[in-house]
Amino acid sequence: MQPFSYTSPRSAQEAVATFANAGRGARFIAGGTTLYDLMKLDVEHPGHLIDITAIEGLNGIDSSGEHLRFETLALMSAVAADSVVARDYPVLAEALLKAASQQIRNMATVGGNLLQKTRCMYFRNGANGVYPCNKRQPGSGCAAIGGLDRGQAILGASGSCTAVSPGDWPVALLAMDASIEVLGPQGSRTLPVGDLYRLPGNTPHLEFTLEPGEMITAIVVPKSPAGLRSTYHKIRDRESYAFALASAAVALETDGDVVTKARIALGGVATRPWRALDAEQVLIGKRLTPDIALAAGHAAFNDARPGRHNGFKAELGARTIGDALLIASERNRT
């Protein structure tokens, strides 16, 4: 274990100021379910940990107004159990409940979960230099390209990196048009949750658009009737405690049986939470049948670029979308 210093600020402003004084070796920490893991694997080497869990007022859940508002330290388990979220926005509750074990959900925060690192085995297990990884050591190469790539991305990959974005919660938030509030040395700003994530391109080590010292303070989800007809459908190697091979977050608005609005986001198949715009266009103005649902699923993978062992993800992902659409369409029928 590498030595590090530690502080526990009492306000978000103090946390940001502490980061600025500590420099680039600093890391914010909340639930710690990712950072501690990567420190033990010798992937992350923070010089200073800024523990934000003692900050009061950053763990609230407010579902009473025109928006759902989740402060960054709200626990995944608490948000999933909120009565309004569970009843009116099943896509959000299901993404959280399918994300991890109960023990982890009782520790992990909804803000920290957005910054989860990839589960690519070459990134996580190559700190000893055996496997090159551009995400861990820029310019070293990517062992997954031409290697064991069953779990890698088929959408958004580049010649430098094919690592899958691992989250469930960000995918559901993308489908619900969520935004995040951020506080940093230059003040506060708001951005769509999809804009938090970068494509790997030639710089896969730059995963997020946060500036140094910025921290997520809240997640805001606009209330929408589409929440009532929504679902998060996740396919994985085993039923629990596993990351997605393919997942789909779906939210629909309909006029009778005809789809008027659709939002579809994908997980497990792309280098960042992925909005399936082509799939959405297939649905608009049509009656949702099994054939149309599957056609939308296939459209989502028009630009897929499979590797040696992960080509199955295109068909699996298409059928995951198709099933999710049919599940969502049956909800809230009167």
Is the predicted pLDDT of residue 52 greater than 80, yes or no? Answer: yes
Tell me the per-residue pLDDT of 95-116, one tens digit each, with 9 for 90 and over: 999 998 888 899 999 999 999 9
Which pLDDT value is given to residue 240? 79
What pTM was estimated for this model as a whole? 0.96
pLDDT at 334 over 60: no
User: How do the domains of the chain map onto residue ranges?
Assistant: 5-54, 227-328
How do beta strands 67-71 and 187-192 pair? unpaired
- Interval 291-320: pLDDT, tens: 999 999 999 999 999 999 999 999 999 999
Which class in CATH covers the domain with range 5-54? alpha beta
Query: Which homologous superfamily does the CATH classification assign to the domain defined by 227-328?
Result: CO dehydrogenase flavoprotein, C-terminal domain (3.30.390.50)
Q: What angle do CA 320, 325, 330 make, to 5 degrees?
A: 130
What span, in angstroms and rounded, lies between the C-alpha atoms of 334 and 156? Answer: 40
pLDDT at 26: 95
Q: What is the pLDDT of residue 147?
A: 94
**Confidence band for 258, pLDDT divided at 50, 70 and 90:** very high
**Distance (Å, rounded) from C-alpha 135 to C-alpha 166?**
14
Closest C-alpha among 54, 50, 49 to residue 11: 54
The pLDDT score that the predictor gives to residue 1 is 61
Q: Is residue 296 within 8 Å of residue 198, measured between CB atoms?
A: no
Q: What is the pLDDT of residue 285?
A: 97
Percent of the chain exceeding pLDDT 90 equals: 87
Are 12 and 55 a contacting pair, CB within 8 Å? yes
Position 333 scores a pLDDT of 66
Q: Are 179 and 191 in contact (CB under 8 A)?
A: yes
pLDDT confidence bin for 237, thresholds 50/70/90: very high
Mean pLDDT of the chain: 95
Task: Write down the pLDDT at residue 113.
Answer: 96
Question: What is the gyration radius of the CA atoms in the chain, in angstroms?
Answer: 20
Q: Tell me the mean pLDDT in the region 266-272.
A: 98
What is the reported pLDDT for 73? 97
- Distance, CA of 308 to chain centre: 25
Q: What is the pLDDT of residue 108?
A: 94
pLDDT tens-place string over residues 24-49: 789 999 988 889 889 988 889 999 99
- pLDDT tens string 171-206: 999 999 999 999 999 999 999 999 999 999 999 999
pLDDT at 78 over 90: yes
